[in-house]
Structure formats: structure tokens, C-alpha cells
Structure 1
Amino acid sequence: MARQNKRQSDDRELARKFEELLKEGTPGFFDVSVYESIIQYYLEGTKFRKAHRTCDIAMEQHPYSVEIMLLKVQVLMQMTQFEEALEILDRAQLYQPNDTDIQLLRANIMAQQDDFEGAIELLEEILTLAEEKDEIHYHMGVIYQDMGNFEESINHLKEAIMLNSQHEDAIYELSYSLEVLDRLEESIDFFKQLIEKDPYSHFAWFCLGVSYFKQGKLDEALDAYEFVIAINDKYSSAYYNIGECYVYKNEYEKALEYFFQTMDMEDKTADVFYNIGFCYEHLGMHPKAIEFYRKASKADAYFHEAYYGIGKCLEAQDKSYESIHFFKRALKLDEANAEYWLAKANAEYKTGNIISSLEAFEEACVLEPSNPEVWKNWSFVHYESGDMDKAIDLINAGIDEMPGNADLYYRAVAYLITAGRYKEAFNYLENALTLNFDSHTVLFEFFPKLETQKALFRIIDQYRNK
């Protein structure tokens, strides 16, 4: 990772010098290898127009460089300019007729144009001639993925990995195809076999850890990631994934240790900042959590989870008014998120904005009608305002949506007793007790008077003795 960051830094500096020369009106003259670095830097940064311009300048200076031609083809593919890309491939093939990279790119263009059968046929033709057969199998595996034929994809990706156990892209795509077919056990078996063949393949250990993690086997995943670090202690993704494992184990202090190590090893990303903030939030350290959520939002202005996190931390500090601003920012980026609408609804209610609160509850309900908290909180607003009929109607709508949820029945009991509709209340109480007897204590929160609690307890105790 350190070497990769160094390369990126060097390439960035080359691109900066190149752009300075362009501003002065002269691009200067660079070797092919320098142009390759600059174009790759633009490609990785999705700066396709700059990459295209650089390719044109490089081809003027090195008109017979097949390397530059193929880079321009990659740029044109990103810009979906396939006709020009194919023309350049034809010209490159005149100079290097047996170059399999040319045919690989041609096959990829055919696949992007939805000519999957033609792309597979072309790759099968060059398979016998290719020196790096693992690359051909890898690309065939990816194309079969695009076709939705995951069985064939798995076969070719496995073949690529057997030929080259260090082919990280093939290992990653195989893991994905097996996950799509819900064959995680098979992926675990395969990566174990791969490790037996090449015990020092840190990426095989890493994918084994990912497979364990997806099956919820956190301890096994942690063991696999520890092997990754033992083999390659600079592999930052292993530290990050260990942090995630500890989050799922609710061991937030340990998770923080690994997220900070990740941050020391690679560029500081919104994901890492967010996860650190998440850990601090769950440790009850809300100001610290807000600090890192803010860093996440600055690293990526579209990271709506960070704004939501800030809002939750502010609300936890009884700053509901301030939290609404951040819930709104999160919703602006992800307006179909029921969790955000529910949080906004609760905050609006706490600040006395009843109309805004009810509107937000309604939005949350439309998006996620199977969330009992929406129905309970929404109906509670009407209960508090004394509109028992509306509160009861809403909680009944929730019961229609989730007839097996005991909490909704208990809430209906509370509302019906308050409304003086005792016979209905006891019918609901019987259903609630049948669904979850132990949850009956929630009723006492609505009736703090000892006399009422005793009366309820007698009724509940009669049901217990049936």
C-alpha cells in the first residue's frame, strides 16, 4: 500500500508538471513510459477528457507506440466511443498482429455493445495462442457474469486462479459470483484449497475472511484476516475488515484501534472517518463521534450517512433542534430512506413542530410500513394531543401490516384503556399476551398509578394461570 501511494504521488506530480507546460503553451516532450503514467493517473481518477487530450499529444510524439494506442482505446471505451476505439485497435494490430491485449480489448468492446457471444467466441480463439491464459479465462469469467451466466463465470474464474493463484481480480470476481448464487460454503472450500496450494497468498486468506464474514462467522473471519497481516502487514484492507468484525461484535474500542491503523496506512477516506465516528457514537462519546462524522462529510460531500450520524449524536445530547438540519441534509441526498424520515419526525416532535413531525412520519410509513417504531411513534403524537381515535386507527393500521407484532397490540391496549374502551382493550391484551407474554411490562409505562398497575397485573396474572 505504501508503494502504491508512492506511485500515485509520483504520477500526480508528473500530471501536475504536464499541465503546467500545457498552460505555458507547449506540452514538452516525454517518453512513452511517462505518458503511460500520466494517462493511467487520469484514468484512475476518472478524468477521461484529460486522459483523451494527453493520448492525442502522446500519439503525435509517438505515432507508432502500441502502448499509447491501447491506452487511448481504454479512454474511448470509458467515453463509449466504440467506433473510434475499434479503428485504433485495427491500426495497432497492423504493428503487433499477435498481441492478445489487442484482442482482449476488442472482446471487451464487443461485450459492452452486448455482443456477448461474439466476445466469448473471440476469446476462445485466442486462448490457445495466449501466453497469459489466466487473463483470458478471467475476462471470459467477467463476460459470463455480465450475461448472467454465473455457473460458467465460476468455471472460468476458477481456471484463471488455478493458473495464477495471485490473480486478485479473478479471486474477487469469483467471490462475487459464488455470493450471487448463495454458495458461500463453496467459496470457503475453494479458498481453503487455494491456500493449501499457495499458503502465502495474502489475497486468498483475505477472501476467505470475507466469505466467513458474509456467513456471520466473525471469529473465523478474524483469524483469516490475522493471517493476511502476518503475510503482508501493509495490506490495509485487512485492518479495515478486522475493524468491521469488531463493530459487529459490538467491541467498539478494538474496532477503533484497527480503523486508526487503516487510516495511518492509506489515504484518509470518508468510509474510515465514518466508521470511527460510528464507534465513538456507540461508546457514548458523541462530541468525538461528531468530529469524525464531519470529517467524513468533508471527505465526501455526498456521504449522507455522515449527516445522519451527526443528527443522531446531537439528538442524543438533547439538541433536537440542531439535529433537524442534519437529518434534512441526509434526506436531501437520500430521500427514500425511511430511517432518516423517522429520525426527523422524532426530532420535529421533540421541538414542538407537530405538523412537520406528522408529515415526516407519513413519509417514513410509505417507505417502510413494516417498521413498528413508525406506527408507535406516529400514533403517540396523536395520543399525546388527546386524539385517541386517530391514535387507535393508526396503531390498528400497523397491526394490519404486522399482525404478529406484540408491541403494537400492547400499544393498542394502552390507547383503548385511556379511551375507556375496556372490552376492546382486553381482547387486544389477550392477543398481545399470546404473542409475547414477557413484554406486558410496557403497559406500566403508560399507567404510572399504582392502583391501575395492580388492576392490570391481576388481569395478566389470570392469563398466566390459564
Structure 2
Amino acid sequence: MLFSSNEDQNFALSRFESMLKTNNVFFFDSAEFEDIIHHYLDSGKVGLAKKAIKIGLEQHPSSVNLKLMDIELLVFENKLEEAEKILDQLYILETTNPEVYIQKANIFSKRDEHYKAIELLKMALDFSDDTADVNSLIGMEYLFIDDFKEAKKYFMKCVEVDLDDYSSLYNIIYCFEFLEDIDGAIHYLNSYIDKNPYSEVAWHQLGKQYYTKKLFIEALAAFDFAIIADDRFIGAYLEKGKVLEKLGEYEEAIHNYQITLELDDPTSFAYLRIGKCYDKLGKKDLAVKFYYKTVHEDPLLDKGWTAITDYYIKQENFQKALYYINKAINIDTENVAYWKRSAEIHRALQLYEEADIAYQKTVELGNYELSTWIAWADILKLLGEYSNSVHVLLQALEFYPDHAKIEYRLAGIYFTQGEQNKGTFHLKNALRNDFKQHLQFQQLFPNVFMRVSVKNIISEFKKSST
């Protein structure tokens, strides 16, 4: 009875493993060793693959393919000098073997010498029957040096050879996006679809480009075609749901998100979007139900926790909002969005000392928005910590020079502390930058505003500017 190729491979594998266990020496032809090595590498058993290479080269010391496998493994393990020595010997004998050039290129690539790698890969093209594979490697090298135009060109060559090479197609679109050439991506994808009209991947990518350009009707049509090509394509349903949200079709968007829950394991993204849709429809109880599902599915998703927190903030149920934002902070203490909401909730609950701590943490984590600085300074003023409030406002001025909201507050605090010169300086700056906001200054510092000296500064400024 003749063995099938799969049976032959299994037989060779069992003989090889028997040899390792018993220390008996069995002979294998070089092709069998290659199959054995590929099997171990595909299974992630690198140690056994190395043993097979070693024994294989002992039995077939002149096998070029086994030497190339040995080199490939050495490169993978970053043993570049050892790999290079074997390659240099091979190059003398195998000057037309494309794999020699490819492996030499891999070594240069590992050393970040990408231009040299590209040069060798282009030489490999002259000898290779599999030009698509080599072109893909060239494309990747160009990506490493951020030459997206050249990378795109070589990935396009791969797709010309094989329309189903979706890895290269994704890389082409990535290059278009990085070059901010959305129109170019749309044109390319439409040309591709003319040749391969049932490609769900191409339709999906085309829909995403239309979405970026806010061409929602065109995006919707593209995602519909992706679903026609593959009615189990989860990504297309999710993207279609996002488009329907933009069009205000919330019920239909929910329907598409729910399809994804039926096709595969539920995702936190789908739960969150369903919750947002119900929120827009005014169905608050259903909205919060799906927000809870979101954080249950993925406790690390910050958008889930902020959605629940914002839900209770809108209802002015600040105690519940505080409960959930504290849960979120316990999970991720370095999330700036959590700390900013914590500060806002504490401020609403008039827990000013806690709000101060939360605003400080918000700034430490890199949130330098004007609203954060202003709110923090106002909290410190309420606590009577005028010096700290000034310190915060002066920091804010570094990010927002001469901003009226900051200048009015500095003026008010300096006047309160009896520092007339500094107060006058900042008040004049504030009036010059936005005179109308002096009414807000009156609300923030009514006692200061009633002073004759302050009223005179404001009236003099008004006269001089009319």
C-alpha cells in the first residue's frame, strides 16, 4: 500500500521522534528533513526544529535547503554573525539562488540597514519564481524607512499577481492613509473591485474611506456590498452600524450591532454602541443596561466606565456617578479621563478637597485643557488657598498666554490678597483681551468689583477703547 504525502510525513515524524528517544540512527532523505523541520517550526517547537536541522546537516552536509533553514533560524535568534558566515560560503556556490539574497537581506534588516536589504531583495527578484513574496518583503523594508510611496508600489505588484493577497491590500490602504491620500485609496479600491467584485475586504475598506470623508450614503452602500459578499462579516456590520448612527438611524444601527452579537462572541464595542444608540433614542434604562454589559465584557475599556458615569451625571445622580468612577479608578489609576470626571463629580458634590486632589492628578497625567486649569484654580479659591490658586493660574498662562479667563482670575485673587500692582496688571491684560468677560469677573469677585479703584480701571479702559 502506498502512503499519501500526509501519511509519509507522519511516518517520517514518528521515525524521527523514535530515533531521538532510542538513540538509534535512522536515515532520512533531505526532503523528509525539510518536512520535519517545517512541522516543528509551525508547531512552535524551535528546539526540536534545531535538532532536526543539526541531524539533517550531518546526514546531508551539502543540502542547500537545510543550510538555508539553519540560517533562517539563526537570524530569528539574532545570531547574525554566525548566519552570515554560512551565507557567505553559500553565496560562492549559489549565486543565482534567491533565498541566499533574501536571507542576507534579513540580516541587513535586523541591523536596521534597510537600504542594503532592499538592494539585495531587488537582486533576488532577478532569480525568483515567486516575485510576489519578494515584492512583499521589499514593501515591508520601505515601510521600515517610512517611504510609503515606494512601499505602496511594491505591495501593488503583489496584488497584481494575486488579487486575494489581502495582507498586501491592507498594506496598500495603510500607505494611502498615512500619505493622507483618501481619494487615492478610494480610486484604487474601486479599480480593484472592478477586477474582484466579490471581495468583502475591498468593499469593507472602501466603506471606511468613504466614512473618513463623511460620505455616509456611499459608505453605507459599500458596507452593504461587503455583507452581500460575506453575510458573516462582523467588521462590515459594525462599520455599517457606525454609519447608521451618523445618519440618525439608531434603531437600524442597533439591529446591525445585534447581528454581530449573534455571529460571534459579544464585543464590548458592540455593547457600548448599542447603549449609545438607546441613549440617543431616549431609552435610558436600556442604555445603562448595555453600558453595564460593556464593562462586564471588558472592565479595562475606559469608554464603558465613562459612559456609565456620564449617564448618572446627566441624571444629576452624583453619588452613583462617584461610585462608578471610583470603580473605574481602582481598575486603572493612570486614566486621565477618569480623574477629570472624578474632579467634576466631587465639585458637584461640594467635596472641594477631594476635587482639588483629583484635578491635581488630572494635570499630572497630562491633561492641560483650559477648562481643567480654570476649574482647579476655582476650587482652590473656594478652599481659600489663594497662593495655590495663583500658582495653578500662572502655570495655565504658560499654556494659554494672555487668556482673559486666566487673567481676570489672577487679577481678582491678587486684589483680594492686597497686591494692587499685580492685580492692576492682570486686570488690564484681561480687559485688553476680552472686555466683555468683565461681567463674569463681577460674578467671581463681587467684593473686588465694587472697589472704586477697580471700577475706575474698567471705566477708563472702556473710554479709551471707544
TM-score scaled by length of structure 1 = 0.65
Alpha-carbon contact 2:407-2:429 (below 8 Å) kept = no
Of 208, 211, 220 in structure 2, the residue corresponding to residue 210 of structure 1 is: 208
Say which of 220, 226, 229 aligns to 1:228: 226
What SS does structure 2 have at the residue aligned with 1:166?
coil
- Corresponding position of 2:147: 149
Deviation at 1:416, TM superposition (A): 11
1:166, 1:229 → 2: CA distance? 18
Name the aligned partner's letter for residue 126 of structure 1: A
Structure 2, unaligned runs of 5 or more: 1-13, 23-31, 446-458
Candidates 92, 114, 126, aligned match of 1:116: 114
1:236 to partner: Cα distance: 2.4
**Aligned mates of 1:133, 1:204 — CA distance in 2:** 23
Given candidates 272, 276, 280, the residue that maps to 2:275 is: 280
- 3-state SS, counterpart of residue 129 of structure 2: coil
Match of 1:131, SS state, is coil
How far residue 101 of structure 1 moved from its aligned partner, in angstroms, is: 6.4
**Which residue number corresponds to residue 382 of structure 1?**
380
Q: Name the CA distance, whole Å, in 1 between partners of 2:403 and 2:429.
A: 15
CA contact (8 A) 1:348 1:356 kept: yes
Q: Does 1:242 align with 2:240?
A: yes
Asked if 2 retains the 8 angstrom alpha-carbon contact of 1:304 and 1:329, the reply is no
Residue 298 of structure 2 aligns to a residue whose secondary structure is: helix
Show the counterpart of 1:195: 193
Amino acid in structure 1 at the alignment position of 2:158: A
**2:134 pairs with 1:136:** yes
Name the stretch that deviates more: 383-392 or 316-325.
383-392
- State the partner residue of 2:46: 52
Q: Check 1:61–1:427 CA distance in 2 against 1; reply closer, same or farther (3 A cut).
A: closer
Match of 1:167 in 2: 165
Q: Which residue of 2 aligns with 1:176?
A: 174
Q: Once the 2 structures are TM-superposed, how far is the Cα of residue 379 of structure 1 from its aligned partner?
A: 2.9
Distance 1:91 1:253 in 2: 68
The code of the aligned residue for 1:181 comes to L
Distance 1:179 1:406, change over 3 A: farther
Structure 1 distance, partners of 2:309, 2:82, is: 50
Aligned to 1:330: 332
Q: Residues of 1 paired with 2:265 and 2:65: CA distance?
A: 29
Checking the alignment, whether the CA contact within 8 Å between 2:138 and 2:154 is kept in structure 1 is: yes
Work out whether residues 342 and 358 of structure 2, in 8 Å CA contact, stay in contact via their aligned partners in 1.
yes
- TM-score, normalising length: structure 2: 0.65
Matches within 5 A, 1:84-103: none
Q: Which has the larger radius of gyration?
A: 2
Could you give the per-residue CA deviations for residues 234-261 of structure 1, whole angstroms, max 9, x where no partner exists?
A: 3322223223434556655544433332
Q: Is the 8 A contact 1:274 1:296 kept in 2?
A: no
Q: Equivalents in 2 of 1:339, 1:56: separation in Å?
A: 50
Give yes or no for contact 1:305–1:330 (8 Å, CA) kept in 2.
no
The letter for the 2-side match of 1:205 is: W
Mapped partners of 2:401, 2:71: distance in 1: 58
CA deviations over 1:139-170 (Å, ceiling 9, x no partner):
21111110222222122122222333322111
Counterpart of 2:295?
293
Separation in structure 1 between the aligned mates of residue 106 and residue 127 of structure 2, nearest angstrom:
18
State the distance in 2 between where 1:304 and 1:210 align. 24
CA distance in 2, matches of 1:353, 1:278: 33
Structure 1 unaligned regions, length at least 5? 1-17, 43-49, 448-458
SS at 2:332's partner residue? helix
Amino acid at match of 2:294: F
- The answer to whether the 8 A contact 1:55-1:72 is kept is no
Please give the alpha-carbon distance, in whole angstroms, between the structure 2 residues aligned to 1:115 and 1:426: 59
Distance 1:66 1:262 in 2: 49
Count, aligned residues: 406
Q: Secondary structure at the match of 2:164?
A: coil
Preserved CA contact (<8 Å) 2:308 2:324? no
Q: What CA distance in whole angstroms lies between the structure 2 residues aligned with 1:101 and 1:34? A: 20
Deviations 1:69-104 (A, max 9, x none): 98998777665455677799999999x998856754
Letter in 2 for 1:139: L
Task: Judge conservation of contact 2:36–2:52 (CA < 8 Å) in 1.
Answer: no
Q: Alpha carbon RMSD of aligned pairs, Å?
A: 5.3
Residue 403 of structure 1 deviates from its aligned partner by 5.9
Q: Is the 8 A contact 1:278 1:309 kept in 2?
A: no
Partner Cα distance (2:85, 2:265) in 1: 39
In structure 2, the CA distance between the partners of 1:371 and 1:239, relative to structure 1 (3 Å rule), is same
Identity of aligned residues (%): 20
- Look up the match of 1:11: none
